[in-house]
Amino acid sequence: MASPHGNVHIITSKQEWEAKLFEATTNGKIVVVDFTAAWCGPCKMIAPFYTELSERYAQLLFLKVDVDEMADLTATWEVRAMPTFIFIKDGKQIDKLVGANRPELEKKVINYATTV
């Protein structure tokens, strides 16, 4: 049975975050992070689409971070609105999308999936 999160890894600790970034860097993968919140309506609306993208583009590493549970991480990456999608390569931010913009998110994911 498929996970309701697809290939999205839910990050609940700094250790998990660091392990996933290390894994991505080691494997030459680009990371897509969805900074989200349980109370955020647009976040809930785009979540199934984000999961779908994670299943279609397995060459990328998809993560999800709850801003309320991971406040330090949220501050480190200067996330000010939800949802915010950050694209990371070799531990550094290479792109960012603020808001639940499906066409733009898909365009960026396809772009990075084909440059890996």
**pLDDT tens-digit readout, 59-89:** 999 999 999 999 999 999 999 999 999 999 9
| 3-state SS record for 13-47 | CHHHHHHHHHHHHHCCCCEEEEEECCCCHHHHHHH
Reply yes or no on whether 56 is catalytic: no
pTM: 0.94
Is 90 a domain residue?
yes
Choosing from 11, 30, 40, 46, the catalytic residue is 40
> Encoding tokens for residue 44?
């809930």
Residue type (1 letter), 27: N
Residue 5 has pLDDT above 80, yes or no: no
Which of the two residues, 115 and 61, has the higher pLDDT score? 61
The rounded distance, in Å, linking the Cα atoms of 3 and 26 is: 25
Number of domains within the chain: 1
Reply yes or no on whether 55 is catalytic: no
- CATH number of the domain where residue 102 is located: 3.40.30.10
Percent of all residues in the chain with a pLDDT value above 90, rounded to a whole number: 93
Is 3 a domain residue?
no
Choosing from 43, 60, 86, 100, the catalytic residue is 43
pLDDT on residue 39:
97
